[in-house]
Amino acid sequence: MIKNMLEGTDFSLNEYKSYEWDASSYNFGGTLFEITQNKEAKPLDIIVNLNKFLAKTPAYFEVAKKNLINPTLEHTALAIQQLTGTADMLQYGEIREFYLKEKASIENLSIDLDTNKIIVTAIIKKNTGLGFADLVNKSRVDYLVELLREGKHEEYTIEALAKMSGFGSRQTMYKAFAKFRNQSPTDFIDSLKH
């Protein structure tokens, strides 16, 4: 059995050479999912491991570019879909559940992560360049923009959409929207009509 396994590995590496043509074989979404969904790890360990993993991705893709000598169109399209899904997982996964809470605070996040707020603040600043409040408000504005693009403003008031996006008030939402989009929600809605 071991001999068959070794022969299969040898064939795969030396004759089949999918690493030269199958761009989808470089998908790392599964590994990211395993890191972020590890129920036995402490939340802070998950953040640290995720940070370490993501720091290595540029080098990983440099190797992939060198190995992909003759990529097929089908596998390249699949790789793009996979990476888009991975980006969505990172951007919209469990993080959304936190910032959509009206009472999202650095203190509550620190408690959820079982660490202190100085560490959480430093990790957020290092990885996003934003302070905690700006990250939460930017994420909320991004989510509100999604709702508006989906036409939700035709079903709900701006106040209701602000609440759905985690904002405590219409005024807070308008201020954050202006800061991160350089326009009001009304102007954004008008731009969707053109």
Tens digit of each residue's pLDDT (9 = 90 or more) over 85-113: 666 655 545 555 678 887 888 888 777 76
Write down the pTM of the prediction.
0.56
Asked if residue 18 is part of any domain, the answer here is no
**How many domains, the chain?**
2
Instruction: Let me know whether 73 and 137 are in one domain.
Output: no
Q: Which residues, 6 or more positions from 101, have their beta carbon under 8 angstroms from its beta carbon?
A: 108, 166
The dihedral region occupied by 153, where left means phi > 0, alpha psi between -120 and 50, and beta the remainder, is alpha
| Residues 7, 26: Cα–Cα separation, whole Å | 23
Between the alpha carbon of residue 23 and those of residues 75, 86, 116, the distances in Å are 6, 15, 41
Instruction: Let me know whether 86 and 152 are in one domain.
Output: no
| Residues 38, 146: Cα–Cα separation, whole Å | 29
- Is 60 exceeded by the pLDDT of residue 150? yes
Instruction: Let me know whether 191 and 123 are in one domain.
Output: yes
Give me the domain span that covers residue 150: 109-194
Quickly state the pLDDT bin for 47 (edges 50, 70, 90): confident
